[in-house]
């Protein structure tokens, strides 16, 4: 099925909300750092996961488990234990980044469907096919660094299903290889499961603006009417060469509604919505819009234009100032500058 | 669009009132509505911490703590203070608006212990709405349901 809608579920309430609003599948994590949204109070224990699976399967939808961090040698069993539980619960797939875990899954649960996580950082069909040959992966989520022609090239040379991010917070685009926050906290996102551990985050309202700090390091200072963003090091404003600006990454959200006809034509299997850390209200709003958009493009791809009301709803939900089409359009957008994004950065 | 703007004259009166009675009323209501649903979740991290909810346009501050037996009014310095307008609190409670959305647009302010704030947010998100609504008198529950579906 082309363009399956994959929605985020940080809790059982969000899972049910996503299903009720038209998600084809949801993705979730267990309540520890085996997934990249290891926030306190978020995620599923085994009983909640079982109930979520029942709710989805009763309605003909699927549940995918994100096991997308990199296991540490001394607690390797926490990750393999999560795979054991996923298999026992009857997850429709597990989303893995680590090759060792894939090997464990294939050896012990040959029936368990494997998806390659975006954190696996496979950007070429050679890499995707490597995972196919060795571990039999069924689907790969591509990192948000490829332009659409590059995505198309991957799709053409593999029989692995390809999933793309469609909407939500952007990452600094070294997915699976980012160690940035360990500079401040000693913990890296791909092992501890969060970019900015909440215990290290501090928000302070000062006369010169709202300040966010990570373990004491000033990340950003927002003026009175400026939109705020997540307190991650990559999206901070820093003084470089006498100028203060987003030196690493703009705090924009990805929004690819405009690209749906091309994604359909290329043969993209699924569209992923970011945001397991968000609330049921976000899940409802974003799922509703994307369900309507995907149904509309499937009915009439040639005549598809995103409804202004959809864009307005999605804009409201985003962090930072604006939306971007991300890297997907890099090759096409010269001269038709869509938004800030990468375009006005270091080569300024 | 809901119009829940609070008359400024009334707000100045409310801000004059002592905080104890509203905090007491809030704790009683929270014990009746939220506590049964909260007890089904991992609530232990909330215990012994102090909270303040500031309804900015009304000038109302609710102060409470959480004990093993439920919510209780409190007067000490808060570990976590959440501020927003009455309208935005209602949008949050009825799950029509996402707290991150309000935070990004600076309509929701969270001060104090960031980790505690996230725990509170995630617990509120995980509350089973039917379980909460089931505790309300029927006409109120119906009104709340209509609000959530709107």
List the end-to-end C-alpha distance of chain B, in Å, as a whole number: 10
d(C-alpha B125, C-alpha A210), whole Å: 25
Over residues A103-129, the mean pLDDT reads 96
Residues 6+ apart with CB under 8 A from B120: A41, B46, B51, B80, B82
What residues in B contact A280, CB-CB < 8 Å? 95, 125
Residue from the list B92, B103, B122 with its beta carbon closest to the beta carbon of A39: B122
Distance from CA of A12 to the nearest CA of B (A): 7
Kindly list the structural domains of chain A, giving each domain's residue range(s) and its CATH number in brackets, ordered by start.
Answer: 4-170+252-317 (3.20.20.70), 182-245 (no CATH)
The confidence score (pLDDT) of residue A240 equals 93
Checking if the pLDDT of B7 tops 60, the result is no
The confidence score (pLDDT) of residue A268 equals 97
Number of H helices, E strands in chain A: 11, 15
Residue from the list A41, A205, A224 with its beta carbon closest to the beta carbon of B111: A205
What residues in A contact B96, CB-CB < 8 Å? 281
B53 in a structural domain: yes
Q: For B27-43, write each residue's pLDDT tens digit.
A: 999 999 899 999 988 89
B140 in a structural domain: yes
The confidence score (pLDDT) of residue B18 equals 60
User: Which of A272, A290, A234, A324 has its CA nearest to residue A116?
Assistant: A272
What residues in B contact A288, CB-CB < 8 Å? none
Q: For A227-256, write each residue's pLDDT tens digit.
A: 888 899 998 999 999 999 988 887 778 889
Over residues A37-48, the mean pLDDT reads 93
A182: burial class by Cβ within 10 Å (0-12, 13-18, 19+)? middle
Q: What number of C-beta contacts closer than 8 Å exist between A and B? A: 89
* Residue span of the structural domain in which B30 resides: 8-149
B2 in a structural domain: no
Tell me how many domains chain B contains. 1
Under a CB-based contact definition with an 8 Å cutoff, are residues A330 and A147 in contact?
yes
Checking if the pLDDT of A213 tops 70, the result is yes
What residues in A contact B37, CB-CB < 8 Å? none
B16 in a structural domain: yes
Distance from CA of A327 to the nearest CA of B (A): 24
B3 in a structural domain: no
d(C-alpha B135, C-alpha B8), whole Å: 32
d(C-alpha A7, C-alpha A18), whole Å: 6
Interface ipTM above 0.85: no
Residue A111 DSSP one-character state: T
B90 in a structural domain: yes
Sign of CA dihedral A255, A257, A263, A264: positive
B66 in a structural domain: yes
Beta bridge partners of A169: A253
Distance from CA of A16 to the nearest CA of B (A): 10
pTM over 0.90: no
d(C-alpha B62, C-alpha B78), whole Å: 10
CATH classification at residue B29: 3.30.1050.10
Over residues B6-11, the mean pLDDT reads 57
B1 in a structural domain: no
């Amino acid at each position: 099925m082309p363009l399956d809608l994959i929605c985020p579920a940080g809790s059982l309430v969000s899972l049910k909300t996503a299903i009720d609003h038209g998600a084809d599948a949801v993705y979730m994590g267990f309540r520890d750092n085996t997934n990249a949204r290891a926030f306190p109070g978020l995620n599923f224990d085994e009983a909640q996961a079982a109930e979520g699976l029942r709710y989805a399967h009763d309605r003909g939808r699927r549940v995918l488990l994100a096991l997308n961090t990199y296991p540490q040698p001394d607690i390797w069993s926490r990750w393999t234990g999560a795979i054991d539980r996923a298999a026992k619960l009857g997850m429709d797939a597990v989303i893995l980044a680590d090759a060792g875990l894939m090997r464990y899954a294939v050896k012990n649960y040959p029936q368990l469907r494997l998806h390659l996580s975006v954190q696996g950082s496979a950007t070429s069909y050679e890499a995707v096919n490597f995972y196919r040959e060795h571990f039999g992966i069924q689907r790969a989520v591509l990192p948000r660094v490829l332009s659409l022609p590059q995505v198309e090239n991957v799709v053409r040379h593999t029989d692995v299903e390809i999933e793309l991010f469609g909407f939500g917070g952007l990452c600094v685009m070294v997915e699976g290889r980012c160690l940035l926050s360990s500079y401040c906290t000693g913990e890296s996102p791909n092992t501890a499961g969060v970019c900015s551990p909440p215990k290290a985050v501090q928000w302070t309202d000062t006369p010169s603006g709202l300040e966010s700090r990570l373990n004491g390091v000033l990340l950003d200072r927002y003026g009175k009417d400026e939109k705020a963003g997540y307190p991650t090091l990559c999206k901070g404003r820093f003084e470089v060469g006498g100028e203060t600006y987003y030196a690493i990454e703009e705090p924009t959200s990805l929004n690819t509604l405009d690209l749906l006809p091309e994604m359909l034509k290329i043969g993209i299997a699924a569209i992923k919505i970011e945001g397991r850390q968000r609330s049921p209200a976000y899940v409802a709003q974003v799922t509703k819009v994307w369900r309507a958009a995907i149904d509309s493009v499937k009915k009439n791809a040639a005549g598809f234009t995103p409804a202004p009301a959809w864009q307005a709803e999605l804009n409201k939900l985003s962090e930072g100032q604006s939306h971007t089409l991300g890297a997907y359009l890099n090759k096409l957008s010269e001269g038709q500058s869509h938004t800030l994004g990468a375009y006005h950065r270091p080569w300024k | 669009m809901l119009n829940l703007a609070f008359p400024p004259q009334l707000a100045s009166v409310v801000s004059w009132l002592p905080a104890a009675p509203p905090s007491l009323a809030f704790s009683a209501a929270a014990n009746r509505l939220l506590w049964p649903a909260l007890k089904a979740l991992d609530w232990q991290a909330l215990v012994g911490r102090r909270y303040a909810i500031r309804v900015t346009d009304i000038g109302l501050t609710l102060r409470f703590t959480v004990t093993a037996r439920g919510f209780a009014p409190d007067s000490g310095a808060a570990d976590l203070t959440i501020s927003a307008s009455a309208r935005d609190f209602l949008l949050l409670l009825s799950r029509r608006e996402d707290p991150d959305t309000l935070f990004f647009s600076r309509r929701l302010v969270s001060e104090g212990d960031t980790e505690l704030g996230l725990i509170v947010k995630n617990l509120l998100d995980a509350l089973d709405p039917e379980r909460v609504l089931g505790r309300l008198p029927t006409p109120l529950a119906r009104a709340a349901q209509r609000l959530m579906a709107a």
